[in-house]
């Protein structure tokens, strides 16, 4: 007795209606994604226009898990920056907007930028001295170690390190912290210039020497991927 073969049937080609339904579904999904992107662009544009602070690149993802897209190059400087003319050009102080250079090179760039700004103000340039370089570096280390962005980081007197180094002349200090690209030397100097107290310190005619320290950290307080700048001044 023969055993019949199982019932077998070759799948039929998709019907015309089935293909039409697939096309309609694809069109609807495309319209949804385009609308979603458009809404996000409008919201980000409104946010950027309403903000008076400097912003880094604006990024977003269309759907969770997809790579972020950069849709607008953020500005590193305030709109209508009144101190723009005090910022040395790239040809004068190369590397002013770079955060990928070795830290010692970034410090040299900052010295160039500060002296350019002081000359533009009609003031003498400053000599960089090892003592103030060292005490500036200690202050940056305290900020990172104690996770406290302050002149009196770790609860110490702001001038504790320079006094411990037997420096007793007139002394001043500017601090700056920036996330990502906002930590670049030229951007940091612009931050000081746009703050009256820091600007007055920077343009103090009695200063003759300075120290510069720059340090990076994964996090300080609420900020992440930061660059810390310490600029100390001396009258001697």
- Residues 230 and 137 sit within 8 Å (Cβ to Cβ): yes
**Helix crossing, 103-120 with 185-193: angle to 10°?**
40
What pLDDT score does 121 carry?
97
What pLDDT score does 174 carry?
97
- What SS3 state is found at 37? helix
Residues in the chain with pLDDT values less than 70 = 1-74
Full-model pTM: 0.71
What pLDDT score does 67 carry?
54
What pLDDT score does 111 carry?
98
What residues form DSSP beta bridges with 209?
127, 234
- Residues 134 and 164 sit within 8 Å (Cβ to Cβ): no
- Phi/psi region, residue 209 (left: phi>0; alpha: psi -120 to 50; beta: rest), is beta
Q: Residue holding tokens 């370089």?
A: 133
What pLDDT score does 50 carry?
29
Q: What is the pLDDT of residues 113-129, one digit of tens each?
A: 999 999 999 999 999 99
What pLDDT score does 75 carry?
80
């Amino acid at each position: 007795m023969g055993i019949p073969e199982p019932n077998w049937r070759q799948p039929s080609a998709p019907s015309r209606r089935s293909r039409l339904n697939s096309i309609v579904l694809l069109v609807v999904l495309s319209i949804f994604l385009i609308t979603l992107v458009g809404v996000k662009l409008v919201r980000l544009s409104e946010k950027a226009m309403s903000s008076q602070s400097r912003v880094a690149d604006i990024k977003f993802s269309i759907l969770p898990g997809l790579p972020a897209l950069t849709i607008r190059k953020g500005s590193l400087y305030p709109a209508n920056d009144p101190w723009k003319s005090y910022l040395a050009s790239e040809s004068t102080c190369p590397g002013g907007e770079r955060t990928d250079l070795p830290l010692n090179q970034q410090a040299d760039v900052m010295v160039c930028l500060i002296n350019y700004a002081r000359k533009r103000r009609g003031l003498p340039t400053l000599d960089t001295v090892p003592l103030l370089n060292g005490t500036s570096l200690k202050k940056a280390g305290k900020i990172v170690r104690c996770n406290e962005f302050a002149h009196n980081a770790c609860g110490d007197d702001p001038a504790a390190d320079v006094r411990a180094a037997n420096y007793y002349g007139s002394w001043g200090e500017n601090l700056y912290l920036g996330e990502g690209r906002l930590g670049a030397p030229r951007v940091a100097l612009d931050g000081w210039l746009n703050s009256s107290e820091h600007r007055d310190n920077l343009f103090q005619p009695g200063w003759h020497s300075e120290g510069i320290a720059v340090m990076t950290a994964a996090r300080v307080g609420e900020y992440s991927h930061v660059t810390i700048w310490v600029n100390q001044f001396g009258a001697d």
